[in-house]
Amino acid sequence: MFAEEMGFLGCLTLLLAYGGILGFALMITTSARSAFARLLACGIGFSIFCYMFVNMAMVMGLVPVVGMPLPMISYGGTALITVMALLGLLMSVHLGRGFAMPARG
């Protein structure tokens, strides 16, 4: 539906925006100070990638239709809340990168 309304340039812009989100998650993963923050950011990035990949693969007919919405585009109440919570956690990891982590003896 999005491709019909927006055309090629709209789809390309959407893919670039998703690529930016995944790049931001990768940058946060590499700059995190603790192992937990790195794993959290990596898991969030992978989760968002899975949402995007499965939805786009369903639309192209590569995988069976399972009803997973496209993040921030398709309407799905629980999925939308989940993706927004994941992005909030990702931003929290980004903001916490400047704090020194105490070492345990």
Please give the structure tokens belonging to residue 3: 């491709």
| pLDDT computed for residue 59 by the predictor | 86
Residue 27 sits at the vertex; the CA angle it makes with 23 and 28, to the nearest 5 degrees, is 115
- What is the value of pTM for the model shown? 0.81
Look up residue 87 and give its amino acid: L
What pLDDT does residue 72 have? Answer: 84
Complete DSSP assignment for 58-77: HHHTSS----PPPTTTS--H
Q: How far apart are CA 44 and CA 17, in angstroms?
A: 16
Domain boundaries, the chain: 7-97
Q: Digits of tens for pLDDT over the chain (105 positions)?
A: 778 888 889 889 999 999 999 999 999 999 888 889 999 999 999 999 998 999 889 988 899 998 888 888 877 788 888 889 999 999 999 988 766 666 665
